[in-house]
Structure 1
Amino acid sequence: MNFIRIVKFDFKNIIRNPMLLFFNTIFPLILIGSIGFVMKNGYGSFNVTSYDYYGVTMMIFTAFIICITASNTFMEKSVKKGNTRIVYAPVSKAEIYLSKIISTYILGSIFYSIIIVLGKYVLNINYGTRSTIYIIILINMLTLFGCCLGVLFCCIFKSEEGANSVLQIVIMLFIFFGGVFFPVYSLGKIVESISNLSPLKWITECIFRIIYDNDFSIYLPTIGVMLVSSIICIVICQIIFKPEEYV
Structure 2
Amino acid sequence: MYRLFRIIQRDTINLLTNSMWIFFSLMFPLLLVAILGFLTEGLYGDYFTSYDYYGVTFMLFSAMYAATFSANSFMEEKIKQANLRIVYSPIRNWFIPFSKVVATFIFTTIFYTIAAVICHLLFHIRFGSENLLQIWLLFIGMNLLFSCIGVLMCCIFKSEGVANQILSILTAALAMLSGFIFPIANLGETFVKISRWLPTAKVAQAVFEMIYDQNTASFFPVFSLLLIGSILILGLSIILFRGEEYV
TM-score computed with the length of structure 2 as normaliser: 0.95
1:228 is the counterpart of 2:201: no
Alignment partners' CA distance in 1, 2:28 and 2:177: 23
State the shift of 1:19 in Å. 2.1
List gaps (5 residues or longer) in structure 2.
none
Task: Give % identity.
Answer: 37
List gaps (5 residues or longer) in structure 1.
none
Which deviates the most, 120-129 or 160-169? 120-129
Rate the CA distance shift 1:133–1:115 in 2: closer, same or farther, 3 A: farther
Alignment partners' CA distance in 1, 2:106 and 2:92: 21
Alignment partners' CA distance in 2, 1:3 and 1:143: 21
Contact 2:22–2:111 under 8 Å retained in 1: no
Query: What SS does the aligned partner of 1:34 have?
Result: helix
Report the equivalent of 1:168: 168
Report the equivalent of 1:186: 186
Alignment partners' CA distance in 2, 1:207 and 1:154: 30
Q: Deviations over 1:172-203 (max 9, x none)?
A: 22111111011112322221111123221011
Which deviates the most, 236-245 or 1-10? 1-10
Runs (4+) of structure 1 moved beyond 6 Å? none
Report the equivalent of 1:13: 14
Report the equivalent of 2:57: 57
TM-score computed with the length of structure 1 as normaliser: 0.95
Specify the code of the residue in structure 2 equivalent to 1:194.
I
State the shift of 1:86 in Å. 0.9
State the shift of 1:121 in Å. 4.1
1:97 is the counterpart of 2:92: no
Report the equivalent of 1:2: 3
Report the equivalent of 2:39: 38
Alignment of 1:134-145 (within 5 A): 134-145=134-145
Alignment partners' CA distance in 1, 2:92 and 2:71: 20
Rate the CA distance shift 1:22–1:188 in 2: closer, same or farther, 3 A: same
Alignment partners' CA distance in 2, 1:95 and 1:133: 30
Report the equivalent of 2:71: 71
1:155 is the counterpart of 2:155: yes
Rate the CA distance shift 1:226–1:178 in 2: closer, same or farther, 3 A: same
State the shift of 1:122 in Å. 4.6
